[in-house]
Amino acid sequence: MQRNFRSEKPDELLLSDISGFAIPAGKVYLSPAVDCFDGMLVTWRISEHPNADLVNGMLDDVIANIGTKFKPILHTERGCHYRWPDWTEKMEINGYTRFM
């Protein structure tokens, strides 16, 4: 990709990461999936904890929205969330490509 985070087609290249936000009630974490075609969110999840449930739930939502018709590249940072067995298994089963 050589840092070219643009895509010619929808659902071809997605970006994800976890971001934390302080709000009056405490801290919340956002795990979005952004489509590099148009910059729109494919899906997103919010949680009080940056854990496997957060990122796996987001990936489940991506799969539900895109399905297996498309086989996107999903670019993430190198955090442990994206290397856990559940995450990698879901990516492989659905034919998605991990890119860090």
Task: Determine the pLDDT at residue 6.
Answer: 76
Domains of the chain plus CATH, in order, are 13-99 (3.30.420.10)
H or E, element range at 58: helix 52-66
Q: ∠ CA(86), CA(91), CA(93), 5° rounding?
A: 90
Task: Determine the pLDDT at residue 3.
Answer: 61
What predicted TM-score, i.e. pTM, was given to this entire model?
A: 0.88
pLDDT digits (tens), the chain, 100 positions: 456 667 788 899 999 999 999 999 999 999 999 999 999 999 999 999 999 999 999 999 999 998 778 899 898 877 777 888 988 999 899 999 888 7
